[in-house]
A and B are shown apart, each in its own frame.
Chain A
């Protein structure tokens, strides 16, 4: 008989906010086999395009996920706009950038907290979430919703941010930056954290690229994919810095996200500076006919909304390929040969979002 322990890891597990299941096969605490299974959150709402008009589907697209909600909505809208050749007003595009980046801040801070929790640093979790509340406060103040913003619409955005609010933004961002600096310093420099992250779940640059890793998961291995560089929306007018780190371990992925917090605040500053006055939406008439693979950069990486319409109010197909889905194969590679204590850390290091993944 082998000296193995088989652990049904999840679906209910305190370290996983979302249900996934992994058959963990351990020897002592070393993972010799880790086979994930998903499907607990599959709702099948892609098929709802057949029941909801393409304009109302935004509300559903937004609820793909409560963490990266805004970008889902915006990406969906941008996809439709591409098919229908709608020119979205400048201001709306900038607003989308601002909310997108706040969304990224919220997501990354949330992740930093959960990640800290996964390696048993409760105080850091609390700290990250405390800071995150500031971001949510801003969200609520400008959109009316804390986590589901609901300001996307085909042809623009549903709400404007007053110029006074935008003026106050710089100071807010400075405060935020300071707080985040204190936080990320711990993540990046504390040796007890480093001990848990360095050389854990390493994936090489080559593997990361060919296994389809995206977002910070890829960038942590030195693969500089960042869809914002492709310049959708207003991003082509902003200076997007792509953060990469070369080691490919959990520490690198953490470092990428930690540093991206500051690129996000930087982008918001740029956007606030450049945002023009003007209308925030255009009237949409007709219905989409055609198809488009709309890609955008989510906090977790490249998101693809494939939309296909046939000229009716109802789309033929919406297919959402989320960053987590494509980060799962690299995750399987990362888990090989790690320790049980590393499992939550590695799993969280790709920042999994199952709700996105399974739709």
Chain B
């Protein structure tokens, strides 16, 4: 009969420091590659639409006319697919996750990129 198997652990735990991270007083757990949210650098976007096509959640809408790049963060699965595939490397993954909100908004980035004279070739993403 083995009772109190847990006692040792429990007593040890009660005397040691709790494992708790005191979020929000302490910072959240994060790593340099944590996938938080996608940010776009409008100054680099070439409006190629690849991100739109490669987004499995269809979270991105690119309006070439209005020169806007919109992302619906309530659809984005933060998969990094767009970041990986963007030929202009204008997308990046920030480690900070999107904040909760009371309404589902859409975030709009304006594309300020102006095509340079020399046209660039579309590239397949490198690993």
Contacts and interface: CB of A to CB of B under 8 A. Distances in A.
Interface of A: 52, 56-57, 59-60, 63, 121, 123-124, 127, 130, 133, 137, 140-145, 148, 150, 156, 158-159, 182, 185-186, 189-193, 279-281, 283
Given A137-B29, A190-B5, A60 B56 contact: yes
Interface residues of B, number: 26
Nearest to A60: B56
B34 A144 contact: yes
Contacts of A141: 31, 33
A191 B1 contact: yes
B5 A185 contact: yes
A309 to B, nearest CB: 18
Interface string B75-108: 0011111001000000001000000000000000
B96 to A, nearest CB: 13
Nearest to A121: B6
Nearest to A134: B19
Interface in B97-127: 124, 127
B3 interface: yes
B10 interface: yes
A140 B127 contact: no
B56 A59 contact: yes
Interface of B: 1-6, 9-10, 19, 29, 31, 33-35, 54, 56-57, 77-81, 84, 93, 124, 127
A52 B84 contact: no
Nearest to A57: B56
Contacts of B29: 137, 140
Contact of A140 (B31, B54, B78, B93): B31
A130 B54 contact: no
A140 B34 contact: yes
23 contacts: A52-B56, A57-B56, A59-B77, A60-B56, A123-B10, A140-B31, A141-B33, A143-B33, A144-B34, A145-B34, A150-B80, A158-B84, A182-B9, A189-B2, A190-B3, A190-B4, A190-B5, A190-B6, A191-B3, A192-B3, A193-B5, A280-B127, A283-B124
A31 B116 CA distance: 75
Contacts of B81: 56, 59
A186 B79 contact: no
Contact of B56 (A56, A121, A191, A279): A56
A186 B9 contact: yes
Nearest to A51: B58
Contact of B35 (A150, A185, A191): A150
Given A142-B33, A189-B2, 4 more contacts: A56-B81, A59-B57, A190-B3, A190-B6
A280 to B, nearest CB: 6
A145 B33 CA distance: 8
